[in-house]
């Protein structure tokens, strides 16, 4: 399928999703393949991330932009084939994004792009396990926005502005601590922040997904802008059954003139 690897519109540069592929019949680029006789010599996520990051840097340069200096928003898609029907891909199943983060930090050394990472079952090119796409803006310097929210563990910027534009991270209703190290029982182990939980002993009270949505929308209000200035919002939910509660929270937060979802 023919498509542009990058499109430039004034100061804006939009980079298509990049895979560790040369789009040949084997799918995975030769530089990222392991030798058949020594199959476990490299960490695949690290090798593929380094390959993709170099492609991104070259593509940005061809568009007159710098990956390190101008990238505002990054979307990362990780193959996590063991996810369950409720979208569980992260804790307890051995899945990690540490190799990706370490390779990313080699290239993005300051004011790292506001980020969203998603676990998915497969990518379009055989044996590829990571895809990354970017949005960049070249006419003004990017600066971190200091959000009044718990600090993310992955080292990305939770908010960035460039001129009069603000990009925020993919935010969760979490404090990045959850029940880690907690002795008392608060119900099933969870990473959700306390304020976004319904009481586990009171089974007939609370709408958990609605509460999570309201809490993360409140977090995003601390980005130095206003909810009335939001143009576009992207939602990721683990199961379609969560949509009605999310929409209730959305309508309460935006009773009129909501942004485009």
CA dist 153 to 108, 130, 158, 193, 249, Å?
Answer: 16, 20, 11, 15, 27
CB 46 within 8 A of CB 104: no
What pLDDT is attached to residue 171?
A: 76
What are the chain's domains?
1-169 (3.30.1330.40), 171-261 (no CATH)
What pLDDT is attached to residue 65?
A: 96
CB 167 within 8 A of CB 154: no
Instruction: Say how far apart CA 30 and CA 39 lie, in whole Å.
Output: 14
pTM metric for this prediction:
0.83
What pLDDT is attached to residue 244?
A: 93
pLDDT, one tens digit per residue, over 160-178 is 888 888 888 777 777 777 7
Helices (H) and strands (E) in the chain, counts: 5, 8
């Amino acid at each position: 399928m023919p498509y542009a690897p990058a499109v430039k519109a004034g100061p804006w540069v939009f980079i298509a999703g990049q895979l560790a592929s040369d789009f040949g019949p084997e799918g995975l680029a030769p530089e990222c393949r392991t030798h058949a006789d020594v199959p476990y010599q490299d960490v695949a996520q690290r090798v593929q991330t380094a390959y993709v990051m170099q492609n991104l840097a070259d593509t940005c340069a061809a568009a007159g932009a710098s990956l390190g200096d101008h990238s505002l928003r990054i979307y990362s898609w990780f193959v996590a084939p063991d996810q369950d029907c409720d979208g569980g891909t992260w804790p307890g199943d051995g899945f990690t994004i540490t190799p990706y983060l370490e390779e990313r930090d080699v290239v993005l050394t300051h004011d790292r792009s506001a980020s969203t990472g998603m676990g998915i079952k497969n990518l379009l090119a055989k044996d590829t396990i990571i895809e990354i796409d970017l949005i960049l803006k070249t006419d003004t310097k990017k600066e971190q926005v200091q959000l009044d929210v718990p600090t993310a563990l992955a080292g990305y910027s939770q908010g960035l502005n460039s001129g009069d534009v603000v990009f925020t991270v993919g935010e969760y209703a979490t404090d990045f601590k959850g029940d880690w190290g907690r002795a008392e029982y608060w119900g099933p182990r969870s990473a959700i922040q306390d304020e976004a939980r319904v009481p586990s002993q009171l089974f007939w009270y609370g709408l958990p997904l609605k509460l999570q949505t309201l809490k993360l929308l409140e977090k995003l209000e601390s980005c130095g802008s206003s909810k009335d200035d939001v143009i576009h919002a992207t939602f990721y939910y683990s199961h379609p059954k969560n949509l009605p509660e999310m929409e209730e929270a959305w309508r309460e937060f935006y009773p009129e003139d909501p942004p485009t979802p």
